[in-house]
Chain A
Amino acid sequence: MSALSRGKRSPLEIQRAVLFALFVRELKTRFEGSWTGFVWVLLEPLGYVLVMSLLLGSLHHTFSPSIAYPVFLVTGMLPFFLFRNLAFRLMDAVDANLGLFVYRQVKPMDAIVSRAMLEVVLLSVVYALTLLVLMALGYDVLPARPLELMGVSALLVLLGFSMGLFFAVATHGVPRVRAFIRVCRAPLYFLSGVIFAVHALPEELRKWLLWNPVLHLLELTRGCFFPTYPVLPEVNTGYVTAFTLIFLVLGLCLYRVRRQQLITLA
């Protein structure tokens, strides 16, 4: 007897089967079927750390001598990558799976959620691995407040997902806007305090930078890692939560309105 004729599956079973199938499909295409792609994902952060430590390590030492620069960098960079991959990669999740929506079980939201799952799993592995490498090199990398760190990371994932979902739905069929959003990736990297400590900047500048919710979350992350890290007093979890919820609600509403258009090529 075939699996189909064995009777009806419950909605939960179908949902799980679809997410699993899409997850496998995303995993297979993410590295373009080669081991070099996989190795690159693993080693990219370490390469960055090496280059940046050589370039900026001594400069950093004059600002906050209590925290070793590689550790400072990693605790900013990996959470940032997690956010970045979610916010920007989810944008293309629907288009990349366009052919698969002929199966009535597969909906655009499944494509977005399964890609988010893959990015979270992938970046978590890279995050842990990078910290382990630093630990093996003799740095102190264990977070001082692990539970809080998990909470902050969860908020970071939700922020990335909400923005990714919103971008995916709002920019569907307008590739020019998409290209513009992609351009914002590099400046965001510098404006989020990944490679330097923001508290070293003048106050007038900081005031503007604090509009960026990712900066808040990176500050909080570092606060969870290092007991001595001077988290900016203006950092506000409420602001980030509100920002996240606004994008999430907008994204979900727009998805509901445009769910039919999403499955057709614009």
Chain B
Amino acid sequence: MLELRHLTKSYRTAHGRRYVFRDLNFHFPDGVNIGLIGRNGAGKSTLMRLLGGIDTPDSGSVHTDARISWPVGLAGGFQGSLSARDNVRFVCHVHGAQGEALRRRVRFVEKFADIGEYFDLPLKSYSSGMRSRVAFGLSMAFNFDYYLIDEVMAVGDAEFRVKCKAMFRHRLRKSNMILVSHNMNDIKEYCDVVVLLERGTATLYEDVRAGISAYQGKANVEAS
């Protein structure tokens, strides 16, 4: 069960307080993969941060009994002056994995990322593709009920995408994901339903195509 109850979230800006969500109620359907779409600034990343427990709402709550991953994206999650190995070890420590469990996860990420000796070099020397390999592999090393994936696959090469797909198929037998992407092919490929965010509201589309055309239709109308 994953629910938003009377969720209000605002940020202070130079032009005063700006509300991203105001008293939003929403029930995420169970057991499906959810694509989260919307224009830039619609609140996709904010919602991911709220679901991931990084930000707290001004009022209301995210109500859930599921284990939710951290938002897996390119922006954060790593300490640049440490190697991928050290970063993976850090995340294992934080999540309570020790000893053999820790070593197994490090081996898993190393194998999945497949970036050779870069795995032991500082992360700030990585290309964005290498970062996404490590970021994605790291999240897959842990068992969650929901994986929050934010545009990670967009920068990968063809081979990496094949690998992601295989990994997803394996993981998604027991887990689900919430995918933020501007790439509608990814949404079509991985998601069962679509949630469209606009002007502080969330609309559920059971039919992925209908959701995408609703999003693109609006985008086109506003562009013309």
User: A residues near B, CB below 8 A?
Assistant: 2-5, 9, 13-14, 17-18, 20-22, 24-25, 28-29, 32, 96-106, 260, 263
Q: 1/0 per residue B81-99: CB within 8 Å of A?
A: 1100010011101111110
B86 touches which of A4, A13, A28, A104 (Cβ 8 Å): A28
Q: Which of B52, B76, B89, B97 contacts A104 (CB 8 A)?
A: B52
The contact of B76 among A13, A18, A99, by CB within 8 Å, is: A99
- A25–B143 contact, CB under 8 A? no
Q: Say which residue of B73, B79, B93, B144 sits within 8 Å of A17 (CB atoms).
A: B93
Contact in complex: A260, B56 (CB < 8 Å): yes
Nearest 8 interchain pairs by C-beta: A104-B53, A21-B93, A102-B76, A3-B97, A99-B76, A102-B77, A3-B96, A102-B70
User: Whole-angstrom distance from the CB of B45 to the nearest CB of chain A?
Assistant: 11
Cα A21 to Cα B144 in complex, Å, equals: 21
A25 touches B96 (CB 8 A): no
Task: Tell whether B80 is near chain A: CB-to-CB under 8 Å.
Answer: yes
Is B71 an interface position by the 8 A CB rule? yes
Binding site for A on B (CB under 8 A): 52-56, 67, 70-71, 73, 75-82, 86, 89-91, 93-98, 101, 142-144
List B contacts of A25 (CB < 8 A): 79, 82, 86, 90
Contacts of A98 in B (CB 8 A): 76
Whether the Cβ atoms of A24 and B53 lie closer than 8 Å is no
The answer on a CB contact under 8 Å between B79 and A2 is: no
Selected from B54, B75, B93, B144, the residue in CB contact (under 8 A) with A263 is B54
Given contacts A32-B81, A102-B70, 16 further A-B contacts (CB under 8 A): A3-B98, A4-B95, A4-B96, A4-B142, A17-B95, A17-B96, A21-B90, A99-B75, A99-B78, A100-B78, A101-B54, A102-B52, A102-B76, A103-B95, A104-B53, A263-B54
Q: Which chain B residues border A96 with CB–CB below 8 Å?
A: 79
Q: Give bound CA distance, A22 to B94, whole Å.
A: 9
Given A17-B93, A28-B86, A100-B90, A3-B79 contact (CB < 8 Å): no
Nearest Cβ on chain B to A139's Cβ, whole angstroms: 39
Tally A-B pairs: CB < 8 A.
84
Complex contacts, B80 vs chain A, CB 8 Å = 99
Q: Contact check, A105 vs B52: say whether CB atoms are below 8 A apart.
A: no
State in angstroms the CA–CA spacing of A105 and B56 once bound together: 13
A37 → B minimal CB distance (Å): 12
Nearest residue in A to B97 (C-beta to C-beta)?
A: A3
With A102-B54, A102-B70, A103-B70 known as contacts, the answer to whether A2 contacts B77 (CB < 8 A) is no
The answer on a CB contact under 8 Å between B101 and A2 is yes
In contact, A3 and B90 (Cβ under 8 angstroms): no
Q: Which residues of chain B are near A260, meaning CB under 8 Å? A: 55-56
A21 CA to B95 CA in the complex, in Å?
10
Would you give the shortest CB distance from A70 to chain B, in whole angstroms? 36
Q: Name the contact of A20 in the complex, choosing from B52, B73, B82, B93 (C-beta under 8 A).
A: B93
Assuming the contacts A4-B142, A103-B77, asked whether A14 and B86 have C-beta atoms less than 8 A apart, the reply is: no
CA distance A232 to B174 in the complex (A): 71
Cβ A3 vs Cβ B101 within 8 A: yes
List 17 A-B pairs, Cβ < 8 Å.
A3-B96, A5-B143, A25-B82, A28-B86, A32-B81, A96-B79, A99-B75, A99-B80, A100-B78, A100-B79, A101-B54, A102-B73, A103-B70, A103-B94, A104-B53, A106-B94, A260-B56
- What's the least CB distance linking A106 to chain B, in Å? 6
| Assembled-state Cα–Cα distance A181/B70 (Å) | 35
The reply to whether B143 and A2 contact each other, CB–CB distance below 8 Å, is: yes
Residues of A within 8 A of B70 (CB): 102-104
- CB contacts (< 8 Å) of B143 on chain A: these are 2, 4-5
CB proximity of A11 to chain B, nearest CB, Å = 12
A13 touching B96 in the complex, CB below 8 Å, given contacts A4-B143, A5-B143, A99-B78:
yes
CB closest residue in chain A, given B80:
A99
Interface contact B96-A28, CB-CB below 8 Å: no
**Distance in Å from the Cβ of B138 to the closest Cβ of chain A?**
11
Name B68's closest neighbour in chain A (CB-CB). Answer: A104
Complex: A97 Cα to B82 Cα, angstroms: 11
